[in-house]
Structure 1
Amino acid sequence: MGIKPDYGTLNVKYKGRTIHVRPFPISVDFDTIDKLARNPGVKREMKRVRAPQYIPYKYIGVGVDRIDYTKGILERFRAIDRFLEKYPEYQNNFVFVEAGAPSRTRIPAYMELNEEISKAVDKINWKYMRGYWKPIIYIEGKLGPDRLFALYRTADVCIVSPIQDGMNLVAKEFISANVDCTGALMLSKFAGATEELEDAVIVNPYDVEGFADAIRDTLDMSPKEKRRRMKSLRVHVKRNNVFKWLSDFICEVAKFIS
């Protein structure tokens, strides 16, 4: 095509023109999320989440996604299935809450994906169900802020495992809301956020065995190590928030205009 990239300067030459390519990883409003996560309504919801009649189990995992092939939801469920099979001591002790917001519901491929996800949840739940316990709680639709932040704060692990994603802001939302620094983030190597969030536990969503082992290792992580990692992640996201992203972008554009 006649395109000549210069990896040293991050420029691309095409038809006599020089195109400047720069990375600007988008972020979230850390301070606002942090503040909302401390609301009294969130604290009340946290008590409800941990109540015996809701989630009375030792370990809680959470996933929040738009229903899309790129989000790796089915791959995540396969890893959870293998994790419970390989480490049966976590059966009846671990529950994973997946909040999936439907998208493009009139497109047949997305309708089929939604059905596949529901079937996968049913299959895994029937496989391991004991009494009132089932390993996956699937919430179809968006969660209100109080419940969402309550789940973020009570979760032992948040799993963000896309098979392809430019950034993924759920990872940064979880970090911003994890004000107690008690949770751990598991992040796919195929998410752009991996380039920034070095203290996340990085996984390959296609590697079922490695993914399952990583879930076990993350749940077994010491509170001290979880706190160290989360504090580091929170410092990074707070420093590199959405306002810095906007400022950096405008400043870079201004250089070329001037």
Structure 2
Amino acid sequence: MNQGTLSSRQNRISSVQKTSVRTIESIRSISRSLLGNSPVCIVTNREPIVYTENQDFKRPAGGVSQALHALLERMGGIWIAAKDSSGPDTLMVPSEKGPGYLLERVNIPSSLKKPFYDGYSNGTLWPLFHGNRDQFFHDPGEFIQYDRVNQIFAKKVMDTFRKERPGLVWIHDYQLTRVAHWIRRESTENTLPPLAFFCHIPWPNPADFMLLPEWQSVLEGLLSHDIIGFQTPLHLDLFLKTVSTLLPEAAILQNNVIRWNGRPIHVAVMPVGVDPQYFRRMADQKENHDAAISFLEKEGIPSNIPFVISVDRMDYTKGLTERIEILDRFFTIYPAWKEKISFVQIAVPTRSGQKMYKKYQSNLRDRITSFNQKWMTPNWRPLYSVETTLPQTQLAALYKMSSGALITSTNDGMNLVAQEFLSCQGNGSGVLFLSRHTGSAFMLRDAVQIDPFHPVFSARQLNTGLSDSVGKRIQRNKILLRQIEQMNLYGWVYRLFENL
């Protein structure tokens, strides 16, 4: 990019900076300034919708895919993802909130799916990036299949260049670290649109990353992007340390710029956020409140006892076994809370086809049963564990009516449940108990922080937070909500455009 073009682009960003960057209107303005009429192309492994037999769309509850869905349905653009349900390979996803977007669905051969997803993505990269060496499993053949799937994704991206050339390609997460490599290697375009990557999960320390036999291929795949985003300063620092340790030929310049293979790569912290107003509206709707009440009644959760909620996938990184230990210490040290508070966890099984996950989930259920048998009384149960996926509308109402949210992740890139809970609380007094090992803890430092590795400390934090005056809790939530509003979904996208 020449100096004149760079100066012009900086002037356009500055003109937008003078207005609020917290709304979709601001993002549309920035996008028009930088990309003109060219669309944004988002690339993820998971598709954002489920296509039903009656040719309708269903949205999975929560998660990053839904944050991106909320963005693109308002902005318009292209989304490329693996095809997980029936229907055509190309779909127009309509929206009442904006223009909707085009969904291009990638057909992954059945012979590649298991080694790509269960194998290399979630048996190798996921535990390694989360610092779980005990769960790390490596099969050399699975990387070949993983790389082949990334090549298939790259071909689909290049196909869009011939249909409607995007102004930006934004690739997401650990399943797709090699897509940009294949785009640069196989594209016949004279110039490519900017290629950006966002790492939603933690980045490991260099010693752990070096356990990966294919570390060079993964690292060079990431350095094929123009922009690489991380959730926290810690993850960014670990990535730069990894590059400087393992690729001495790569130069680390000022402002977190890496020069490698003659190209500058901008590395930035850009924590993902939510749309607080969207969640608040859902939490306030009467029909959602009624649906939440029906759910509590169905599960036998009494309405006269306050509850603290947790919402997770049944994954070892979410600290569910550590949570039981914390609750056991809590009722041991503070028995006065018996029959005065219950804990409700929505823990949906995930990756149950993998032996390790199946064993973990079975052991967890046994521990929940033992814990309840130890503490329950004829009229009270300390922990209700539900394995049902709830719609976002229902969760929003549950967040609002709960007395707190307990997040016990042992290592989490961000954890959007924390932000969703506070958004739904609004001016409420529910307490956020937030693991210090989440990206959200970097952002929400005024939350009541716990540590899943220190159950006694965490039990004391639970007691302190629940014992605080209503006024103190409301004031704390106001501070936290302001922080969420400043770092919302649209702020996340703005920080990406800032680095173009």
TM-score if structure 1 supplies the norm length?
0.89
Q: Is 2:341 the counterpart of 1:100?
A: no
- Partner-residue secondary structure (3-state), 2:413: coil
- Alignment match, 2:284: 38
Q: Is 2:347 the counterpart of 1:81?
A: no
Q: Is the 8 A contact 2:408 2:452 kept in 1?
A: yes
User: Which digits, 9 at most, give the CA deviation of each residue in 1:207-226, with x for residues without a partner?
Assistant: 01101111111110111111
Paired residue type of 2:480 = L
* Number of residues of Structure 1 aligned to a counterpart in Structure 2: 252
Q: Is the 8 A contact 2:419 2:484 kept in 1?
A: yes
* C-alpha distance in 1 between matches for 2:320 and 2:365: 11
* C-alpha distance in 2 between matches for 1:189 and 1:123: 27
- Alignment match, 2:466: 219
Alpha-carbon offset, residue 181 of structure 1: 2.0
Residues 189, 218 of structure 1: alpha-carbon distance in 2 compared, 3 angstrom cutoff: same
Bigger mean CA deviation after superposition, 42-51 or 186-195: 42-51
Match for residue 121 of structure 1 among 368, 375, 379:
368
- Alignment match, 2:489: 242
Paired residue type of 1:144 = P
Alpha-carbon offset, residue 27 of structure 1: 0.8
* C-alpha distance in 2 between matches for 1:39 and 1:246: 28
**Structure 1 regions of 5+ residues with no counterpart?**
254-258
User: Which digits, 9 at most, give the CA deviation of each residue in 1:120-141, with x for residues without a partner?
Assistant: 1111100011003110000102
Alpha-carbon RMSD across the aligned residues, in angstroms, is 2.2
Match for residue 2 of structure 1 among 242, 247, 251:
247
- Alignment match, 2:417: 170
- Alignment match, 1:23: 269
- Alignment match, 2:377: 130
Q: Is the 8 A contact 1:194 1:202 kept in 2?
A: yes
Q: Is the 8 A contact 2:427 2:478 kept in 1?
A: no
Equivalences for residues 121-200 of structure 1 within 5 A: 121-200=368-447
Q: Is the 8 A contact 2:308 2:404 kept in 1?
A: yes
Q: Is the 8 A contact 1:159 1:185 kept in 2?
A: yes
- Alignment match, 1:62: 309
- Partner-residue secondary structure (3-state), 1:127: helix
* C-alpha distance in 1 between matches for 2:437 and 2:304: 31
Residues 159, 8 of structure 1: alpha-carbon distance in 2 compared, 3 angstrom cutoff: farther
Paired residue type of 1:2 = L
Residues 132, 252 of structure 1: alpha-carbon distance in 2 compared, 3 angstrom cutoff: same
* C-alpha distance in 2 between matches for 1:61 and 1:218: 11
Paired residue type of 1:101 = V
- Partner-residue secondary structure (3-state), 1:117: helix
TM-score if structure 2 supplies the norm length?
0.48
Q: Is the 8 A contact 1:48 1:54 kept in 2?
A: no
Bigger mean CA deviation after superposition, 141-150 or 113-122: 141-150
* C-alpha distance in 2 between matches for 1:49 and 1:154: 13
* C-alpha distance in 2 between matches for 1:109 and 1:222: 43
* C-alpha distance in 1 between matches for 2:427 and 2:415: 22
- Alignment match, 1:256: none
Paired residue type of 1:177 = C
Alpha-carbon offset, residue 38 of structure 1: 0.7
Residues 117, 57 of structure 1: alpha-carbon distance in 2 compared, 3 angstrom cutoff: farther
Q: Is the 8 A contact 1:57 1:92 kept in 2?
A: no
Q: Is the 8 A contact 2:292 2:395 kept in 1?
A: no
Bigger mean CA deviation after superposition, 146-155 or 170-179: 146-155
Residues 57, 218 of structure 1: alpha-carbon distance in 2 compared, 3 angstrom cutoff: farther
Residues 73, 154 of structure 1: alpha-carbon distance in 2 compared, 3 angstrom cutoff: same
Percent of pairs with identical residues? 27
- Partner-residue secondary structure (3-state), 1:186: strand
Paired residue type of 1:244 = G
- Partner-residue secondary structure (3-state), 1:22: strand
Match for residue 233 of structure 1 among 480, 487, 496:
480
Alpha-carbon offset, residue 47 of structure 1: 5.5
User: Which digits, 9 at most, give the CA deviation of each residue in 1:1-22, with x for residues without a partner?
Assistant: 2346759632345466543210
User: Which digits, 9 at most, give the CA deviation of each residue in 1:93-120, with x for residues without a partner?
Assistant: 1100000121111011111121122111
Residues 10, 97 of structure 1: alpha-carbon distance in 2 compared, 3 angstrom cutoff: same
- Partner-residue secondary structure (3-state), 1:153: helix
Bigger mean CA deviation after superposition, 80-89 or 34-43: 34-43
Q: Is the 8 A contact 1:49 1:151 kept in 2?
A: no
Q: Is the 8 A contact 1:59 1:219 kept in 2?
A: no
Paired residue type of 1:227 = I
Bigger mean CA deviation after superposition, 232-241 or 20-29: 232-241
* C-alpha distance in 1 between matches for 2:383 and 2:424: 22
User: Which digits, 9 at most, give the CA deviation of each residue in 1:160-195, with x for residues without a partner?
Assistant: 111001111111111111124211111111101111
Paired residue type of 2:364 = I
Q: Which has the larger radius of gyration?
A: 2
